[in-house]
Amino acid sequence: MLAEIRSLNEECGVFGIWGHENASQITYYGLHALQHRGQEGAGIVTTDGETLKPVKGEGLVNEVFTPEKLSKMAGNGAIGHVRYATAGGSGIENVQRCCSIPLPAAWQFPITAIL
């Protein structure tokens, strides 16, 4: 087997959407579909175009994101991550490193959250 093929692993998963009123819900389903790539933790950052709002936790996607949490995650953009520990060890501090920051009112480019 080629070295490139042997080194391919399914570790972590990222899903994002922009311009949809139910961005957090769609991202939730996207992460659920990617759950096989990471089961240690999950996080979603949503945006309303002005701020980034993170929610993260340890465990499976459906354990981290309850219907109550999802209903409070308003925004038309979201990016999410499921984690498989390859570096940094397990623990909440290593699940989707992100923060909530205000964005300039004149921001005219898509928002990118670095996970």
CATH code of 23's domain: 3.30.1490
**pLDDT on residue 101:** 44
Instruction: Note whether residue 109 is domain-resident.
Output: no
**pLDDT on residue 97:** 53
Instruction: Note whether residue 86 is domain-resident.
Output: yes
pTM for this entry: 0.73
Instruction: Note whether residue 66 is domain-resident.
Output: yes
Q: Which range of residues forms the domain containing residue 27?
A: 10-94
Distance, CA of 95 to CA of 97 (rounded, Å): 6
Q: List, for residues 35-94, the tens digit of each pLDDT value.
A: 888 888 899 999 888 888 888 888 899 999 999 999 999 999 999 988 776 666 666 665
Distance, CA of 47 to CA of 75 (rounded, Å): 5
User: Which residue is catalytic, options 4, 7, 8, 12?
Assistant: 12
- Residue 52's CB is within 10 A of a number of other CB atoms, namely 20
Distance, CA of 65 to CA of 7 (rounded, Å): 32
Instruction: Note whether residue 69 is domain-resident.
Output: yes
Structural domains in the chain (count): 1
For every residue of 70-111, DSSP letters joined together read HHT---SEEEEEEE--SSS-SSGGGSS-----B--TT--S--
Catalytic residue list contains 99: no
